[in-house]
């Protein structure tokens, strides 16, 4: 599969270097020099992965990511921030909005390529599967069935959707905003209490497979 990568950054020299190295690896690339163009290109180019700067004209990277995560067309699009902003608050804001990674400039091209390959490899065999198998857990999306340690587990719809989402990408931290969009289908962020109650109920049925990452979100343990 020839993956499509959008490089959104207003520094032309950086974009040129990144695209050159990505093209050498066989990826199809496009670029955008501002936030509005990034959203436009995302809609037409339909990238598998977006490298997104934060400090860009017209719309900054945070605004772009927020718009992307509201659109179900980009549910499976990986978004990696590549930015010179190196502070915990900005990084946490990025993850809370649904970033898959936060990479601080400068970074060597080979290291960046390695990070990108890791993300694409992880989702390659997962995104189209109807059945998720992780150790003693089987989730059949089509039949709405969960089997744990050989026993069928009955989960209400929201609990099933929550488990399915977290198990779709083991180790990935899903933020409350992502869960709100994908499980509760709402732009309004569901409060911690509601999500924690559902997490607790799922844990009681399938063991301690889910973790709460304080201040960030939730993940399926690997």
Taking the C-alpha atoms of residue 186 and residue 155, their distance in angstroms, rounded to an integer, is 21
Q: Does the pLDDT at position 211 exceed 60?
A: yes
Side-chain half-sphere of 21: how many Cα atoms within 13 Å?
Answer: 16
- CATH number for the domain harbouring residue 135: 1.10.10.10
Say if CB 119 and CB 80 are below 8 A apart: yes
If asked whether residues 159 and 55 sit together in one domain, one would say no
> Could you list the residue range(s) of the whole structural domain that residue 206 is in?
131-220
C-alpha dist (Å) from residue 209 to 134, 145, 194, 202, 203: 10, 17, 18, 9, 7
Same structural domain, 18 and 115: yes
Pairwise CA distance, residues 70 & 93, whole Å: 16
3-state secondary structure of 92: helix
**147 in the same domain as 71:** no
Q: Identify whether residues 113 and 192 lie together within a single domain.
A: no
Looking at the structure, tell me whether residues 199 and 163 fall in a common domain: yes
Domain boundary among 90, 124, 158: 124
Q: What is the pLDDT of residue 184?
A: 87
Mean pLDDT over residues 155-179, rounded? 91
At 177, is the pLDDT very low, low, confident or very high (cuts 50, 70, 90)? confident
pLDDT (mean) for 1-5: 81
Would the pLDDT of 125 be above 60? no
Burial class of residue 212 (count of CB atoms within 10 Å of its CB; 0-12, 13-18, 19+)? middle
Please check whether residues 150 and 116 belong to one and the same domain.
no
**Domain identity same for 120 and 135:** no
Sequence-distant (6+) residues with CB within 8 A of 38 are 6, 8, 32, 50, 52, 56, 59, 64
Does 56 share its domain with 91?
yes
Question: What six digits make up the tokens of 24?
Answer: 């050498």
Which residues, listed in sequence order, are joined to residue 140 by a DSSP beta bridge? 131, 145
pLDDT number for residue 71: 82
Average pLDDT, integer, range 150-159: 91
CATH number, residue 12: 3.40.50.2300
Task: Determine the pLDDT at residue 126.
Answer: 53
Examine the domain organization and report whether 152 and 88 are in the same domain. no
Q: Where is pLDDT greater, at 184 or 162?
A: 162
pTM of this prediction exceeds 0.85: no
Mean confidence (pLDDT) of the chain:
88
Whether the pLDDT of residue 14 is over 80: the answer is: yes
Last residue of a domain, one of 102, 124, 146: 124
- Taking only the tens place, the pLDDT of each residue in 69-93 is 888 788 878 999 999 988 888 899 8
More confident residue, 42 or 192: 42
**High-pLDDT (> 90) share of the chain, %:** 48
Of the chain, the percentage scoring pLDDT greater than 70 comes to 95
Alpha helices for the chain (secondary structure H) = 12-24, 35-45, 61-70, 88-96, 109-124, 157-168, 176-182, 192-206
Mean pLDDT of 99-104: 89
Q: How many domains does the chain have?
A: 2
Q: For the beta carbon of residue 5, count every other beta carbon within 10 angstroms.
A: 24
Same domain as 114, residue 21? yes
End-of-domain residue from the set 72, 96, 124: 124
């Amino acid at each position: 599969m020839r993956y499509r990568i959008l490089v959104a950054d207003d520094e032309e020299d950086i974009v040129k270097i990144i695209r050159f190295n990505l093209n050498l690896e066989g990826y199809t690339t496009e670029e955008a020099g501002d936030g509005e163009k990034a959203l436009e290109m995302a809609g037409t180019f339909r990238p598998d992965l977006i490298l997104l700067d934060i400090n860009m004209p017209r719309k900054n990277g945070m605004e772009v990511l927020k718009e992307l995560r509201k659109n179900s067309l980009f549910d499976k699009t990986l978004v990696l921030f590549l930015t010179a902003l190196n502070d915990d608050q900005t990084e946490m804001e990025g993850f809370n909005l649904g970033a898959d990674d936060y990479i601080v400039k400068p970074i060597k091209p080979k290291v960046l390529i390695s990070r990108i390959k890791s993300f694409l490899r992880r989702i390659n065999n997962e995104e189209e599967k109807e059945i998720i198998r992780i150790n003693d857990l089987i989730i059949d999306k089509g039949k709405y069935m969960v089997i744990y340690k050989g026993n069928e587990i009955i989960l209400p719809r929201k609990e099933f959707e929550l488990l399915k989402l977290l198990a779709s990408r083991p180790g990935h931290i899903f933020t409350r905003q992502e869960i709100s969009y994908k499980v509760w289908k709402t732009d309004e962020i569901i409060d911690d209490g509601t999500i924690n109650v559902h997490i607790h109920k799922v844990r009681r049925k399938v063991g301690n497979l889910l973790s709460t990452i304080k201040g960030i979100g939730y993940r399926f343990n690997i």
